[in-house]
Amino acid sequence: MKKKIAVLEGDGIGKEVMAGALDVLRVIEKRFHHHFEFVEGKIGGSAIDSYGVPLPEETLRICREADAILLGAVGGPKWEGGPSHLRPEKGLLGLRKEMGFFANFRPVKAVQSLISASPLKREVVENIDFVLVRELTGGIYFGKPSGRFGETEPQVVDTLRYSKHEMVRVIEKAFQLARTRRKKLTSVDKANVLESSKLWREVVEETASRYADVEVEHLLVDAAAMKLIQTPRAFDVIVTENLFGDILSDEASMLTGSLGMMPSASLREDNVGLYEPIHGSAPDIAGTGKANPLAMILSAAMMLRYSFHMVEEADAIELAVYETLEAGYHTPDLAVSGGVIVNTKTMIRKILDHLSEDEVIAGIMATFQ
């Protein structure tokens, strides 16, 4: 298959982890006889430095012409303090909005060899497997008016606005996903306080009537934050609005052992998608070789699975990641007891080795069939 992939590495560790995803995809290309064309574009702080804006027209054009987009991370202290339209994060938010990627899927899965890396007890985190579906193009991130007003006494305003349509489409996606899994949907809101959450809950109830096979529960966001730590295994699919989803997904990452383990897919109604780790540019470790490349590599696997329907290829990447962890290799963010701490480049190398070894084994097996 021939596919065009927009590659936006962004800032900080974005560049370091993207190198791993591209190396892995090049091996997949050879092993499975595909042709991936990588087209690079700038976003975030590096785009501000080169173009004066965080989301240049050129980058948007590259993304519009691509079959899928891979993104590293944006942001950093260098670009803090300026006007809000010139922040790196605006580039990422603008890209999600312009491209219409309204449904963000953040899978949370306990990897057996990483159980000891979580600060929670083994019996709490074992066998966790859920997906957090986050609304990505509405809510308080985008509502107008937003800004700072007032001459003597500053006043600020952010607006939490949603249309029903924006809720319907993402909630529908979450129900569809639950139907393919353990058929349990947890909707998270703040319906005891917020008008937006009251409508959200109504839409979940309306949609539920068409999914009689899916069990639905409603949780208030504060209680959901608690239950994520108390009984995370109870979740199958969680659906929530933009800001709640942002916060809860970073919290959930600690069930897996590290923020550096969490990939994501942002989708709309066609097959085009944006694939990025949920972590940021990690300025505190950028350039030190400590970045965990797995969230980015697993995001590339999600791209193969969801945008290109390359199931075997995606499985091969995930297997290589799990085998590498099983063999004891990990970056320093994972506080695993035992094992070997390696830097970003070595971790990538180990995964590439497993991908090639698996290919040899697959070849040998094929000759016996």
Binding site for ligand NAD (CB under 6 A): 13, 17, 73-76, 89, 92, 259-260, 276, 279-285, 291-292, 295, 333
Q: Which of 7, 25, 28, 92 binds ligand IPM (CB under 6 A)?
A: 92
Taking each helix axis as running N to C, give the angle between helix 311-326 and helix 13-32, from 0 to 180 degrees, rounded to the nearest 10: 120
Active site residue 358: no
Distances (CA, A) of 232 to 79, 179, 225, 245: 37, 19, 10, 15
Q: d(Cα 207, Cα 121) in Å, to the nearest integer?
A: 36
Indicate which of ligand NAD, Mn ion, ligand IPM, none lies near residue 291 (CB less than 5 to 8 Å, by partner kind): ligand NAD
β-pair partners for 288: none
Sign of CA dihedral 190, 192, 193, 195: positive
Using DSSP, state whether 51 is helix, strand or coil: helix
Q: How many residues bind ligand IPM (CB under 6 A)?
A: 7
Nearer to ligand IPM, 103 or 325 (CB): 103
Interacting stretch for Mn ion, rule CB under 5 A, among 12-20, 177-185, 239-247, 267-275? Answer: 239-247
Q: d(Cα 335, Cα 119) in Å, to the nearest integer?
A: 9
Active site residue 129: no
Q: d(Cα 257, Cα 119) in Å, to the nearest integer?
A: 7
Q: Does 246 bind ligand IPM (CB under 6 A)?
A: yes
Taking each helix axis as running N to C, give the angle between helix 164-179 and helix 195-208, from 0 to 180 degrees, rounded to the nearest 10: 40
Using DSSP, state whether 77 is helix, strand or coil: helix
Going by C-alpha positions, the residue among 327, 344, 345 that lies closest to residue 336 is 327
- The single residue listed with the structure tokens 């993104």 is 71
CB neighbourhood size of 64 (10 A): 12
Q: Is residue 305 within 8 Å of residue 314, measured between CB atoms?
A: yes
Indicate which of ligand IPM, Mn ion, ligand NAD, none lies near residue 93 (CB less than 5 to 8 Å, by partner kind): ligand IPM
Interacting stretch for Mn ion, rule CB under 5 A, among 50-58, 110-118, 140-148, 243-251? Answer: 243-251
Q: Does 170 bind ligand IPM (CB under 6 A)?
A: no
Nearer to ligand NAD, 125 or 291 (CB): 291
| Rg of the Cα atoms in the chain | 21
Q: Does 246 bind Mn ion (CB under 5 A)?
A: yes
Q: Which of 42, 141, 162, 275 is catalytic?
A: 141
Nearer to ligand IPM, 95 or 320 (CB): 95
Active site residue 213: no
Interacting stretch for ligand IPM, rule CB under 6 A, among 88-96, 289-297, 307-315, 342-350? Answer: 88-96
Active site residue 49: no
Minimum CB separation of residue 282 from Mn ion in Å reads: 12
Minimum CB separation of residue 332 from ligand IPM in Å reads: 22
Interacting stretch for Mn ion, rule CB under 5 A, among 100-108, 127-135, 205-213, 240-248? Answer: 240-248
β-pair partners for 158: none
What is the amino acid identity at position 203?
A: V
Nearer to ligand NAD, 21 or 203 (CB): 21
Q: d(Cα 264, Cα 138) in Å, to the nearest integer?
A: 18
Minimum CB separation of residue 246 from Mn ion in Å reads: 4
Active site residue 141: yes
Indicate which of ligand IPM, Mn ion, ligand NAD, none lies near residue 76 (CB less than 5 to 8 Å, by partner kind): ligand NAD
What is the amino acid identity at position 156?
A: V
Q: Which of 250, 322, 353, 358 is catalytic?
A: 250
Nearer to ligand IPM, 76 or 293 (CB): 76
- The single residue listed with the structure tokens 């890396």 is 117
Burial class (CB in 10 A: 0-12, 13-18, 19+), 147: exposed
Q: Which of 25, 128, 228, 278 binds ligand IPM (CB under 6 A)?
A: 278
Q: Is residue 320 within 8 Å of residue 294, measured between CB atoms?
A: no
C-alpha 76 chain-centroid distance:
19
Nearer to ligand NAD, 204 or 228 (CB): 228
- Residues lying near Mn ion in the complex (CB under 5 A) are found at 246
**Catalytic residue list:** 141, 190, 222, 246, 250
> Contact residues for ligand IPM (CB under 6 A)?
75, 89, 92-93, 246, 278, 280
